[in-house]
Amino acid sequence: MEGRDRSTMHEIRLHNTMSGKVESFVPQKPGQVHMYTCGPTVYDYAHIGNFRTFVFQDVLRRFLKLRGLQLTHVMNLTDVDDRIIANAAAAGVPIREYTEKFVQAFYADCRALSVQSPENWIRATDNIPDMVALIEKLHAKSYTYQSDGSIYYRIAKFKDYGKLSKIDLAGMQTNARVDNDRYEKESARDFALWKAPKPGEHFWETALGPGRPGWHIECSAMAMKFLGETIDIHTGGIDLAFPHHENEIAQSEAATGKKFVRYWLHAEHLLVEGEKMSKSLGNFFTLRDLFAKGYKPSALRFALASVPYRRQLNFTFDGLLQATNSVERLRNFRLRLTAGTFPDGAGDDMQALANSAVERMRGALDDDLNTAQAQAAIFDMVRRANAAFDAG
Ligand SMILES: [Zn+2]
């Protein structure tokens, strides 16, 4: 965006799940953004619903950088959780060996979809001491209690519990516990920070005793370790808002007494042909499933980015074909520009057309990342420029 001065820049507006409103985005330190994204749990291949979120956060990171902000972005790989422990035990291999295949597959999928690497990829199992230290800090402030060798978070003590997902805890039993990493709002209870090992399960020997971290403490510990106690942006799929992000807030804010995240951004669900994606319905797709059918990564990325992130995205094979054609159209346009011969001199009309396309695209992205309007701005320009080509 050379040649533009800051006075022509509009403010960046982003929807914050915490307030439920679109807000003006102002980083904590001018010009710098610290951002955390909950990465995949590497117990299986990531599916297109996961990649809707990862493409969204990629568009966001590219946009923030385009706007001249210096970005420090961390994405974690959850390489220890209930499902990984169970699958690795069933396969009779150490968890690191079990997850490695899916870690590499995830990296390959990101490369295929042109999802940029964050400044830091981090793995939960590389940061266990930081999780232990955070649990000790919570213990010192009486936010924890023990039961059968596991350590739980006492949510009744954190008066702001539920502020992100607006959950009502009235009538909840004190000291009722939930051991699973993933659960529904109806079973909101004290959750496990540290889990005692069951026979045959992988565990770490630590100051807390033998065991393994719960999923939620992983993200709190790693986000604060790499980005500081208050971070600018935290992203994830909407299904993570409860319980995962609610629990991250409870852990981090109880430990530090500071606001954990300034802007919470969540991507909506993806449907497949109007239905919830599930293995039992036979409409569950990983990237490799689609590429094996001959669909192109560029078309998939285009399709996943075509709907603004806060709207539900209905993925259809018709839509994927349209996306294939759209990408082809852009490629042909580029070819025409680079291979064509044109009369000398700059055309004022074409310059104005390009400027207005850039302006519209930027305005669309400034407006809570309206990718649909940004794409429309490009295709308007392509249509008009093609007409000008045709007219010589
Ligand atoms: Zn997370």
Interval 192-208: pLDDT, tens: 999 999 888 889 999 99
Query: Ligand 1 mean position to 327 CA, how many Å?
Result: 33
Dist. CA 86 → ligand 1 center (Å): 20
* Cα of 236 from ligand 1 centre, angstroms: 8
- Report whether 191 contacts 175 (CB < 8 A): no
Question: Which segments in the chain show pLDDT lower than 50?
Answer: 1-8
**Distance separating alpha carbons of residues 381 and 375, to the nearest angstrom:** 10
Residues 153, 247: contact at Cβ < 8 Å?
yes
Q: What is the 8-class DSSP label of residue 172?
A: P
Distance of alpha carbon 65 from alpha carbon 301, whole angstroms:
19
How confident is the model at residue 190, as a pLDDT? Answer: 94
Distance CA 20, CA 282 (A): 35
Distance 207 CA to ligand 1 centre (A): 24
How do strand 70-77 and strand 120-123 relate by DSSP bridges? Answer: parallel
d(CA 4, CA 203): 55
Partners of 231 in the β-ladder: 261
Q: Tell me how far apart the alpha carbons of residues 188 and 86 are, in angstroms, rounded to a whole number.
A: 23
Q: How far is the CA of 116 from the centre of ligand 1 (A)?
A: 19
CA distances from 229 to 13, 216, 226, 330 (A): 23, 16, 9, 43
Question: How far, in Å, from the CA of 103 to the mean position of ligand 1?
Answer: 16
CA 181–ligand 1 middle distance (angstroms) = 11
Instruction: For residue 208, give the nearest of 124, 135, 125, 127 by alpha carbon.
Output: 135
For residue 248, the CA-to-ligand 1 centroid distance in Å is 8
The chain-wide mean pLDDT, for the chain, equals 93
Ligand 1 midpoint to CA 220 (Å): 8
What is the CA(355)–ligand 1 centre distance, in A?
Answer: 40
Q: What is the pTM (predicted TM-score) of this model? A: 0.94
Question: What pLDDT is recorded for position 9?
Answer: 61
Reported as a single tens digit per residue, the pLDDT across 111-148 is: 999 999 999 999 999 999 999 999 999 999 999 999 99
Closest CA to 41 of 240, 287, 308, 283: 240
Q: 3-class SS at 373?
A: helix
Distance 38 CA to ligand 1 centre (A): 4
Contact 188, 169 (CB under 8 A): yes
CB 290 within 8 A of CB 42: no
Q: 3-state DSSP helix/strand/coil percent for the chain, to nearest 5?
A: 45, 20, 35
Token reading at 228: 């500081």
The per-residue pLDDT for 1 is 42
